[in-house]
Structures are given as structure tokens and as C-alpha cells.
Chain A
Amino acid sequence: MIGNASVEAAGHGGSLGENLTHHIQVFEWFKHFGGISESIVMTWFIMAVLIIASYIFTRKLETFPGKVQNFVEAIVGGINSLAKSVLGHHWRPFAPYFGSILLFLAIANTIAMFNMTLIFRPPTKDVSVTAAMAIMSIILVIGSQLYYKGIGGTFKSLFEPMWIIFPFKILDYFTRPLSLCLRLFGNVFGAFVMMELIILASHNFALPPIFSLYFDIFDGLLQAFIFVFLSMLYIGEAIE
């Protein structure tokens, strides 16, 4: 489980492509859980980290914050101001949801940087996880539209600029979650394959940490932000 996995796999012999496909496959250790997939176990792990961290950081809140509380307040303030700038004056009920989605995705996408020593693989490289998150987003879009505009207003907004736009508005409800899902999955999976290839091809010498800065940290954080930002834009458009 812990140890240098790529060196072990390189010992199997075979070409670079065979080693790569062997690496990308679902890790065998998880099969002993009786059909529970690797991405679910990683999701549980990230949830545990987030829950424990939120308990620790909000345990003793003070009026005059210390260093740690200042840091946490800066994160929450940043999320709130992002929601305010996109959603306008309806930002309040959406900020906690998007904050948790952003924190979860930020950890889930960047967790692959520990992949060389501990076997931490990003759960978002599984298309089922990103599909679930995209469906959550589109349900929130439709629900908030129904809540703020009512059924009649929602129906009227389908024909809003001209009646001919109607089929495209219906199509939007399907293409938007599809593109949200595939964008996140494709980026994370592509970055994951690139990192595995670099690790295998460089024989763990010097290159992986440098490329990990871009593929794991920069790309992961950017995609987490883009997912949340696009979902917010859709909601802002739906309830305006």
C-alpha cells in the first residue's frame, strides 16, 4: 500500500504503455471492500478531513481572532464575496453550498500530488463522481428558478427573448450538466494520466515534482474554481 508503486510496476517488465495502463487501473487494494469503488473510499477520506477540519477550526471562535481563525475567516470571506459578485443580492442561501463544493473539489483535484508516496488518487478522475456533482448543480439551478420565479415565471422564461429560443433552452438543461461533468472529468483524468506517464518515464528522477506543480496544483485548483463559477453563473442567470 505505502511504498513506491511505480518502481514495483516497472519491475513487471513490458513496455511503457503496458505499465501505464497497469497503473491507471483501479487499485487492487480497494477490491477487498466488496465492490466499493476506489473513488468512494477517497471521497469518504476527503469528507472525513473536511469534517474534522471544520470541527477543529470552529471549536473556539473568538471576537478578536488569532492567526488560524483569521485564515479560515479569509477563506469564508473570499467564498462569500465571490457569491456576492456573481449572484447579486440573492447570494446568501447559495454561499454555504458552493463553499463546501469548492473546498471538496479543491482537495479532491489536488490530492494526486501525494500519489508518489501514498496511494492517493483523485476521486474526480472517475466520471461517475463528476456526473453526480453536475447533476446536483443542475437540480439546484432548476429548483432555485422554481423557487424565485414560480412555475409560471419559469415557464415564461423559457420563451424569454423570442418563442423560437424554446428548444435551445430545453437543450440547455441537458448540455450544461454534460459539459460541467465532462470538463472536470477530462481535465483531472488528463492531468492524472500525464503525471503517471511522467513518473514512469523519468524513473522518479527530478521531473515529477516540477510538473506536479502545474498538473496537480494549478490545474486542479483552476478546475475547482471554474466548476463553482460556472454553476453560480447558471444560477444567477436562472433567478435574475
Chain B
Amino acid sequence: MDNNALFAIAAGIAVLTGFGAGIGIGNATGRATEAVARQPEADGKITKTLLLGMALSEATAIYGLAVSLIILFLKMH
């Protein structure tokens, strides 16, 4: 196997962090739906907290993307 293929595989593996972010965001959204169903009047606060939690758990996927980009840029130089 040549070097380029190894770099591509490494970048692909780095993006697998998306699994965790998907599970986390799904969990958060499900709980938020339950919370709104139970207390519709707390809608605004729940939305804000949900957005914050989504941003924090999404960060893991973004780190994976950043790492894979770094790997790909290493390949170019």
C-alpha cells in the first residue's frame, strides 16, 4: 500500500468521532422533547439549554474533522 492511501485511511478513521456526537445529540434531543411535552411553558429555556448541549457534544465530531484535515494537509506538504 502506498503512503497516500494510508493517509486517506487515517483521515477516515479520525472522522469516526462522529459516532459519539450523533449519539449525544440524539440523546439530548430526545430528552428535550420529553421535557417540552411535560412542561410546554418552559419552552424557551429548554431550547437554549438544548442548543448549548448540542454545541458541546458536537465539538467532539468537530475535533475529529479538524484532526482529519490536519492529516490531509500534512499529506499535501
Contact = CB atoms under 8 A, between A and B. Distances in A.
A223 to B, nearest CB: 8
A135 B61 CA distance: 22
Closest 5 CB pairs of A and B: A186-B62, A226-B55, A186-B65, A182-B66, A179-B59
A230 interface: yes
A186 B55 CA distance: 12
B63 A182 contact: yes
A166 interface: no
Nearest to B76: A21
B51 interface: yes
B52 interface: yes
19 contacts: A179-B59, A182-B59, A182-B62, A182-B66, A183-B59, A183-B62, A186-B61, A186-B62, A186-B63, A186-B66, A187-B62, A189-B65, A189-B69, A222-B51, A226-B55, A229-B48, A229-B51, A229-B55, A230-B52
**Majority SS of interface residues in chain A?**
helix
Interface string B6-37: 00000000000000000000000000000000
Interface string B33-54: 0000000000000001001100
Contacts of A179: 59
Contacts, number: 32
For chain B, give the interface size range. 10 to 19
Contacts of B66: 182, 185-186
Interface residues of A, number: 14
A190 interface: yes
Interface string A205-228: 000000000000000001001100
Contacts of A182: 59, 62-63, 66
Contacts of A186: 61-63, 65-66
Contacts of B61: 186
A229 B47 CA distance: 12
A192 to B, nearest CB: 12
A190 B65 contact: yes
Contacts of B52: 226, 229-230, 233
A225 B51 contact: yes
A61 to B, nearest CB: 30
Given A182-B59, A183-B59, A226 B65 contact: no
A186 B69 CA distance: 10
